[in-house]
Amino acid sequence: MPRIVDEAIRTAYSKQGVAVLTIPDDIPAHMIADNFNANVDNFKIEDYQVDDKEIKAALELMKIHSNPIVLAGTGIRNAKKETLDFIEKFKLPIIQTMPAKGMVADDHPYNLGQLGKLGTKAAYEMMQKADLLIMLGTDYPYAPYLNHKIDAIQVDINGDKLGKRHRVNVAIQGETQKVLKRMIELGDEVKERPFLNTAISHMAQWRSWMKDVYSKNHEGVLPSKMFHDLSTTAQDNAVFSIDVGTSTAFGARFIDAKPTQKYTISAWLGTMGCALPGAIASKMVLPDRPVYAVAGDGAFSMVMQDFATAVRYKLPMVITVLNNKLLAFIEYEQQSAGQQNYGISLPDIDFAKFAEACGGIGERITTNEQYAEAIEKYKNTDRPVVLDVAVTDEAPLPGKIVMDEAKGYAKFGMGHLIDKKSMPELPPMKEILRSFL
């Protein structure tokens, strides 16, 4: 038992994640000799020496390519400053994976947001135009969104990640922080890069589109506007814990996260119900920081009993529930796959009353103005709060609609027309075209 616990702790350190031990309940009842020599305290993460030969090879590759693009993952968490210095010195546009969101400020002009279905059109297009991919501390799983025709440099502390998602020309095993520091020391500054200028203007256009989205005239509560208001109101040291569902897409687009904040999600976007436990864990670990969770009604109702835990342990936090009585993310997934919608409705639950019944604070929200006021009002709450928001069904369109999705939407539209004798309600043509062209 002590040996296994020791191993679990060492594994958690070396893989920089969470180790889970499942212990049969008869084990703790056994008497054992108390003579185990734990070595966890002197455990060190392997200290890789940076080899200048590899650094120079990477710099050389960067010199002969005019359109390099950076894809950064959570491996830059201890190298936020170095990553910033690196992209600024070499004039590099940067894409961040969803779990790394905010490690370089979302509103930094070189930042193209995320890549993939939930990403930006700018990231998609610049990836297609790039001629060199520089991967920093990432195991980005949606490999079809990478440009596989181009050369690549990859930096990772874990050797098994090198070359896993993309063929690499220069692979450097080491700590991102050390590697970037050395590249910055040895490399020549790039004064002007037309590719970066194109990226900056693409992204500026994307951001102005997003502004159109959350500023449009509407009835009811618009999720895009809610996320925008949450983003502009939350403190600089806030922790966001965002669930899986449409909130993942709205959060990615309408929250501008900062390196001083923390943006927590289910890393591979699979675990519905993660926002509330993520908020509870964040508040336990970082008790002095404000915590904001956002979850869909489906996701929240999977774990809502844990709200009682937040009340029980006096964990102040603001939980926004996007109450659309629907598994909306699945609604759009079915449509883009060309299926008619089925099995996606949810019961009408009053989450505000539920919160009150648990001994917390609950408020029902029916307008964007009320939401903005509530977020301001509960900024320094000393109790857990649920904001039960009756949101309108707003389509989280992909940044770039790929051909298969376009065919799926067309098939869904035709099916709907035949079955229901009417055209389905779709987002305005202007919004669809932006994503498609």
Ligand X SMILES: Cc1ncc(C[n+]2csc(CCOP(=O)(O)OP(=O)(O)O)c2C)c(N)n1
Q: Residue 5 has which token pair? A: 């616990």
Q: What secondary structure letter does DSSP report for 109?
A: T
From CA 394, how far away is CA 391, in angstroms rounded?
8
Can residue 296 be called a binding residue for Mg ion (CB under 5 A)? yes
The interface region with ligand X, picked from 17-25, 167-175, 257-265, 266-274 by CB under 6 A, is 266-274
The interface region with ligand X, picked from 26-34, 326-334, 398-406, 420-428 by CB under 6 A, is 326-334
Side by side, the strands of the sheet bearing 317-323 are 262-264, 239-242, 291-296, 317-323, 384-390, 361-365
Q: Considering the complex, what minimum distance in angstroms separates the CB of residue 327 from ligand X?
A: 4
From CA 24, how far away is CA 19, in angstroms rounded?
16
From CA 361, how far away is CA 181, in angstroms rounded?
48
Taking the CB of residue 383, how many other CB atoms lie within 10 A of it? Answer: 15
Can residue 330 be called a binding residue for ligand X (CB under 6 A)? yes
**CB closer to Mg ion out of 298 and 362:** 298
Pick the binder of ligand X from 24, 28, 144, 270 (CB under 6 A).
270
Q: Considering the complex, what minimum distance in angstroms separates the CB of residue 343 from ligand X?
A: 9
Query: Angle between the 223-233 and 246-254 helix axes, to the nearest 10 degrees?
Result: 50
**CB closer to Mg ion out of 239 and 328:** 328
User: H helices of 136-286, where?
Assistant: 176-186, 194-215, 223-233, 246-254, 275-285
Q: Which residues contact 104 (CB under 8 A, 6 or more apart)?
A: 72, 76, 80, 83, 84, 87, 94, 96, 110, 111, 259
One symbol per residue from 309 to 348: x for binding Mg ion (CB under 5 A), - otherwise; what is it? ---------------x-x-x--------------------
**CB closer to ligand X out of 141 and 287:** 141
Can residue 175 be called a binding residue for Mg ion (CB under 5 A)? no
Q: Considering the complex, what minimum distance in angstroms separates the CB of residue 398 from Mg ion?
A: 19
Q: Considering the complex, what minimum distance in angstroms separates the CB of residue 109 from ligand X?
A: 30
State the burial class of residue 170 (Cβ atoms within 10 Å of its Cβ: 0-12, 13-18, 19+). buried
335 binding partner (options Mg ion, ligand X, none; Cβ < 5 to 8 Å by kind): none
Can residue 243 be called a binding residue for Mg ion (CB under 5 A)? no
Angle, vertex CA 361, rays to CA 218 and CA 324, nearest 5: 35
Q: Residues binding ligand X: what is the number (CB under 6 A)?
A: 18
**CB closer to ligand X out of 28 and 343:** 343
User: H helices of 286-327, where?
Assistant: 297-303, 306-312
Pick the binder of ligand X from 94, 112, 179, 244 (CB under 6 A).
244
From CA 338, how far away is CA 212, in angstroms rounded?
28
Can residue 297 be called a binding residue for Mg ion (CB under 5 A)? yes
Residue bearing tokens 């900024």:
379
Can residue 297 be called a binding residue for ligand X (CB under 6 A)? yes
341 binding partner (options Mg ion, ligand X, none; Cβ < 5 to 8 Å by kind): none
Contact 226, 369 (CB under 8 A): no
Q: Considering the complex, what minimum distance in angstroms separates the CB of residue 181 from Mg ion?
A: 45
Can residue 388 be called a binding residue for Mg ion (CB under 5 A)? no
**CB closer to ligand X out of 103 and 326:** 326
Pick the binder of ligand X from 124, 307, 329, 378 (CB under 6 A).
329
**CB closer to ligand X out of 206 and 332:** 332
Task: Tell me the residue nearest to ligand X as measured from the CB.
Answer: 296
Can residue 113 be called a binding residue for Mg ion (CB under 5 A)? no
State the burial class of residue 430 (Cβ atoms within 10 Å of its Cβ: 0-12, 13-18, 19+). exposed
Can you give the binding site for Mg ion, defined by CB under 5 A?
Answer: 296-298, 324, 326, 328
Can you give the binding site for ligand X, defined by CB under 6 A?
Answer: 244-247, 270-272, 296-299, 322, 324, 326-330
